[in-house]
Amino acid sequence: MSQNLRTQLDQRPMSMFQWSVVGVCMVLNMIDGFDVLVMAFTASSVSAHWKLSGSELGFLLSAGLFGMAGGSLLLAPWADRLGRRPLILGCLLISGLGMLASAWSQTPAQLAALRVLTGVGVGGILACSNVIASEYASLRWRSLAVTLQSTGYALGASIGGSIAVWLLAQHGWRSVFLFGGICTLTVFVIAWLALPESLDFLLAKRPRRALERLNALTGRMGLPLLRSLPDQTASPGAARASGPLQLLSPGLRRPTLLVWLSFFSVMFGFYFVMSWTPKLLAASGLTAEQGVTSGVLLSLGGILGATLLGLLAARFAIHRALAVFMLITALLLCFLVGSSGALWVSYALAFFIGIFVNACVAGLYAIAPVVYGSDVRATGVGWGIGIGRIGAIVSPLVAGRLLDAAWSPGQLYVGYGLAFVFAAAIVSLHRIASPSASRSTAGAAAALSTHKA
């Protein structure tokens, strides 16, 4: 029966309720986009306020990423025990209160500690929002649903960043953190009212009133009600271990290592592109304002890129389409700095790089939930994102060292482009069928089951 319910959900068209869940997950992802940029936008003002050295400011910039990595690695496994919804709600409170408290921090050490706390909450939110979007989507539109919700990052970065610039000019850096805290707690109310628990979790873990809650959800999606809870089936390869150790059990070791390597290499390249492009383009001939404009175009391109990859994944195997996007990203990076003599070319390249580089991250968010069973899915996605955040932390440090070693901006972009080439090779090793092939297989299996009955 569990398989029948999952099959029905996979084969039916998406209902408005299912798309609304994806929309809520997109709003959750906007918190990540704003939170990553809030410290970048306020860095100059915070540094001037406390007269920080470069290393002290760098520590503040990295603190949030450390927290996000910790949240993904440590909190995500609890979503497979307690549920996706309660963990998201708890993490929203953590990040919202951390952001509000940051507005009243009195020392750099206090702000750094609060940035870590806020990052922990955001890391837990991200791991679960991707999982819920995947679990409520049909088979054909699953990759689109996950990539669409990941566009929340670019929306949060673009819209929230623009508001942050205005707040910074009018009311100072503390107002930016205050705004972020209010927005996060507002999203907590939205999630409390509109975010359901996942069907897969209710089927796998059977919390209190599981049947009643399942029927309430299936009724909203137009699916037949269940008379009783279906028989439970364990995920292959995960039964003999517990917690994150399940990810390295024999049946999951190969996909887990592929997910970790691809997340690390893509995040390593992505955070270099997003963090250093404005500065490096300015150093290569553009003005500081033109460099910042290029950075904005990177975020705007991401909104289109994630959607484009999701639409392609409705017809083709997601890992193959993603590998192509990664190779195109590597190619475009080789030409970015050399284009600084023609402003419109630099802007166009920045926009197109934004399309493809953001789609690379969105594609990994779509792949990770597919390779894990429901009983370990949040753990798998959380650890993939956490390993990726480690790449994000390392990336700016490596770039700084290479600049100190007299690497030119052009050499840096070519070098970081190789990270995407490596990721393309890793991603291509996944074994994920295209949606059309999977639907044909599921249809044949259903027909065979009916014939035997």
Give the pLDDT confidence score for residue 246 in this predicted structure.
78
Q: Is the pLDDT of residue 244 over 50?
A: yes
Give the pLDDT confidence score for residue 51 in this predicted structure.
83
CA dist list (Å): 192 to 53, 89, 265? 42, 7, 35
Does residue 229 contact residue 367 with C-beta atoms inside 8 Å? no
Lowest-pLDDT choice from 76-85, 149-158, 178-187, 333-342? 333-342
Band (423; pLDDT cuts 50, 70, 90): very high
Q: Is the pLDDT of residue 66 over 80?
A: yes
Q: Is the pLDDT of residue 412 over 90?
A: no
Band (410; pLDDT cuts 50, 70, 90): confident
Token digits for 436? 């059309």
Q: Is the pLDDT of residue 424 over 90?
A: yes
More confident residue, 188 or 17: 188
Domain boundaries, the chain: 8-227+253-439
Token digits for 386? 């956490």
Question: Whole-angstrom Cα distance, residue 302 to residue 299?
Answer: 5
Amino acid in the structure at residue 6 = R
Neighbours of 70 (CB within 10 A): 18
What single string gives the DSSP state of each residue in 301-336? HHHHHHHHHHHHHTTS-HHHHHHHHHHHHHHHHHHH
Question: Whole-angstrom Cα distance, residue 23 to residue 33?
Answer: 16
What single string gives the DSSP state of each residue in 393-424? HHHHHHHHHHHHTT--HHHHHHHHHHHHHHHH
Give the pLDDT confidence score for residue 234 in this predicted structure.
52
CB contact set of 357 (below 8 Å; sequence gap of 6+):
269, 270, 273, 274, 298, 302, 305, 329, 420
Q: Is the pLDDT of residue 1 over 50?
A: no
Residue entry with tokens 């999630």: 191
Give the pLDDT confidence score for residue 213 in this predicted structure.
81
Q: Is the pLDDT of residue 238 over 50?
A: no
Neighbours of 253 (CB within 10 A): 12
Give the pLDDT confidence score for residue 434 in this predicted structure.
60
Token digits for 321? 């389409």
Does residue 191 contact residue 24 with C-beta atoms inside 8 Å? yes
The CATH architecture assigned to 8-227+253-439 reads Up-down Bundle (1.20)
More confident residue, 240 or 224: 224
Give the pLDDT confidence score for residue 83 in this predicted structure.
83
Per-residue pLDDT tens over the stretch 328-351: 999 998 887 765 567 778 888 888
What single string gives the DSSP state of each residue in 41-61? HHHHHHHHHHT--HHHHHHHH
Per-residue pLDDT tens over the stretch 284-302: 777 756 766 777 788 788 7
Per-residue pLDDT tens over the stretch 77-125: 787 788 888 999 999 999 999 999 999 999 989 999 999 999 899 888 8
Question: Whole-angstrom Cα distance, residue 98 to residue 280?
Answer: 32
